Structure 1
Amino acid sequence: MTLQNDVVPPSSQPAAPQAQFVTITEEEAGQRIDNYLMRTCKGVPKSHIYRILRSGEVRVNKGRVDQLYRLESGDLVRIPPVRVAEKSTSNAAPGAEFKIVFEDNHLLVIDKPAGVAVHGGSGVSYGVIEQLRAARPDAKFLELVHRLDRETSGLLLLAKKRSALTNLHEQMRVGQTDKRYLTLVSGDWQHKRQHIKLPLHKYTTPEGERRVVVQAGGMESHTIFNLLRKWEKFALLEAELKTGRTHQIRVHLASSGFPIAGDDKYGDFALNKQLQKAGGPLRRMFLHAYQITFTHPDSGKTMSLKAALPAECERFLVSLGKPLA
């Protein structure tokens, strides 16, 4: 991306905000102009972005475009002077790095801890993506490839190039990626391998919280569960995601009578309270994204990455004693 400004006013006059002229690179091509402006003009309200598009203040190759226009390599974009909303330093995301599982010029794969949101919103000021951007101010591009629930730990993919992001999104859309989780459920699990196909409907509570329920007419959803170890009251499962719906593993298990230990949305609340009592053995949801397999967007090689089960989860399994199977 190259920038040039309008003519600079004489030094005797106070400098006024100037329009910017940006030449779109191959890496930036393909995205809609509204999305591009939201990323470029950080802190500017969406309503203002759409207003300057409607008014024709934004120009591409000297012509007006609407919000649906997709940028092409070599396009010259005029961005008018915009006022960025002042943010209090208390709300700014503190820079943070996370345990890196893999990194190159195209990808960053981290092991996200439980209790950390992947992005800001819904009462959360900031998340992993905002913290990584703050820690890497020179990064030209950094976007989430997918998401994990705040309470879930494990492998999280981020793209460092737009071409990598679109490639991985396409792999996920056609089912070429393989994502697996480890989870501990309450109950007498019987089957070595079990398919659960239940339609899921997403809704928002009056408090603005996202929830999911099994409901006819909902989104088709499919999870395969493999039994790894079993105790009298618990079972350790591997979950294979065949679709990627919000809260899919949690709702499929809870609706089948096997809530995840520590799940504060869909779990067994009496059991959770017991596990947390007096600083008890499990103070988080036992769900961990431990393995992901995909094709590297640049080299074409098959990548299979793993993240070990967190120490607090391992300790809880040890506390259960010798498994029955």
Structure 2
Amino acid sequence: MKDLARFSGKAPEKAPSAAPAQSTSGSPQVQMVTISEEEAGQRIDNFLLRVCKGVPKSHVYRILRSGEVRVNKGRIDQTYRLEAGDVLRIPPVRIAERQAPAAPGAEFKILLEDSCLLVIDKPAGVAVHGGSGVSYGVIEQLRASRPDARFLELVHRLDRDTSGVLLLAKKRSALTNLHEQMRDGVTDKRYLTLIHGDWQNARQHIKLPLHKYSTADGERRVRVQDDGQAAHTVFSLLRRYGEYALLEAELKTGRTHQIRVHLSASGFPIVGDDKYGDFTLNKALQKAEGERIAFKRMFLHAQQITFTHPDSGKSVTLKAALPPECQRFLQSLEKVSAAQGQ
């Protein structure tokens, strides 16, 4: 077993200002941590769950309920929000000996970086974070490549097979501000997607409630369900390619798999979608045929985001160009359409 003295799970920030107690015997020790300005505002349970990587969630809540966790020598409950300068006592806890392999450091194409934001162009096929069978993702790789970063957190998420604009915060204040903007509908997210089917309308609103559930093997899925969460997407037709159509999707809400499920449920599956798409079509598209080249990913790309900068208060619009493999596929479909006189 390893103890928490090294704070191996606390990747986003530097070591706490209060040096943790050391143990020559290898047994876990009480840790005293002084909360920094960047850590302030978090609920105590969320802070502990992030710091105590490998410790079961049930155990974290047990030490909170029992009073073993103290703030400024006093007992607190799980809803307490940490303040700058708080001295946090973390009792001896053990984390599993077997840890996930360390993420290799990596950098991605940067669209914007300043003192409070990092915005990248995420490639398809890369998860944004570890979990669900993935050892690490973008956030772990960026933290590994930036060991001196005091704070680095995802502002939002993209599916593993979705490419495009991804926001990360370098300050907690920026993270909180951007989350508020998203809740208030201030941010404007636009995606490009290629669907199969006879799409007719130049502009179409789809409002279908979505319900999250897990399959028997634990895979996360979403379906349209009357008592699900309200979800609203606006689709604009950009161009037709024979039996395919390129659409712009504007998110009015930000539900899990929203674009994918809204299109699938409406009879227009996204090309290459391995969860909600046309599996027979996807398999056929993986092989070239005539002028049409092979295509082996999901055609969903986060092209643009507009938000208010947390520091300057100015409106910022960032764009990520459609990846080359998507551009080449569209060009091949254009050739097919031209040959067929469409």
Q: TM-score, normalised by structure 2?
A: 0.87
- 1:321 alignment partner, SS class: helix
Quick check: 211-220 or 305-314, which moved more? 211-220
Return closer, same or farther for 1:15/1:282 CA change in 2, 3 Å cut-off.
Answer: closer
Counterpart residue number, 1:316: 329
Counterpart residue number, 2:74: 63
Counterpart residue number, 1:136: 146
Q: Distance in 2 between matches of 1:28 and 1:37?
A: 11
Quick check: 273-282 or 56-65, which moved more? 273-282
Quick check: 181-190 or 37-46, which moved more? 37-46
1:128, distance to aligned residue in structure 2 (A): 1.2
1:127, distance to aligned residue in structure 2 (A): 1.4
Counterpart residue number, 1:31: 42
Quick check: 151-160 or 93-102, which moved more? 93-102
Return closer, same or farther for 1:257/1:303 CA change in 2, 3 Å cut-off.
Answer: same
Counterpart residue number, 1:291: 304
Report Cα offsets for 1:98-138 as digits up to 9, x if no partner: 11111111111111111111112222222111222222222
Counterpart residue number, 2:7: none
Q: Kindly indicate whether the alpha-carbon contact (under 8 Å) linking 2:54 and 2:99 is maintained by their aligned counterparts in 1.
A: no
Counterpart residue number, 2:17: 2
Q: Kindly indicate whether the alpha-carbon contact (under 8 Å) linking 2:49 and 2:57 is maintained by their aligned counterparts in 1.
A: yes
Residue 208 (structure 2) pairs with residue 198 (structure 1): yes
Counterpart residue number, 1:109: 119
Counterpart residue number, 1:52: 63
Q: Distance in 2 between matches of 1:100 and 1:312?
A: 20
Unaligned runs of 5+ in 2: 1-15
Q: Kindly indicate whether the alpha-carbon contact (under 8 Å) linking 2:271 and 2:298 is maintained by their aligned counterparts in 1.
A: yes
- The residue correspondences of 1:214-233 to structure 2 (distance < 5 A) are 214-233=224-243
Residue 217 (structure 2) pairs with residue 207 (structure 1): yes
Q: Distance in 2 between matches of 1:64 and 1:29?
A: 18
Q: Distance in 1 between matches of 2:20 and 2:222?
A: 49
1:245, distance to aligned residue in structure 2 (A): 0.8
- The residue correspondences of 1:75-90 to structure 2 (distance < 5 A) are 75-88=86-99
Q: When the two structures are aligned, how many residues end up with a matched partner?
A: 320
Unaligned runs of 5+ in 1: none
Q: Distance in 1 between matches of 2:133 and 2:240?
A: 37
- The residue correspondences of 1:203-282 to structure 2 (distance < 5 A) are 203-277=213-287, 281-282=294-295
Return closer, same or farther for 1:15/1:266 CA change in 2, 3 Å cut-off.
Answer: closer
1:192, distance to aligned residue in structure 2 (A): 1.0
Q: Which amino acid aligns with 2:264?
A: A
Q: Distance in 1 between matches of 2:314 and 2:181?
A: 13
Q: Which amino acid aligns with 1:35?
A: N
Q: Distance in 1 between matches of 2:191 and 2:58?
A: 39
Q: Which amino acid aligns with 1:247?
A: H
Q: TM-score, normalised by structure 1?
A: 0.92
Q: Kindly indicate whether the alpha-carbon contact (under 8 Å) linking 2:206 and 2:233 is maintained by their aligned counterparts in 1.
A: yes
Q: Distance in 1 between matches of 2:167 and 2:294?
A: 30
1:26, distance to aligned residue in structure 2 (A): 2.6
1:173, distance to aligned residue in structure 2 (A): 0.3
296, 305, 312: which one pairs with 2:318? 305
- The residue correspondences of 1:106-185 to structure 2 (distance < 5 A) are 106-185=116-195
Q: Distance in 1 between matches of 2:176 and 2:186?
A: 14
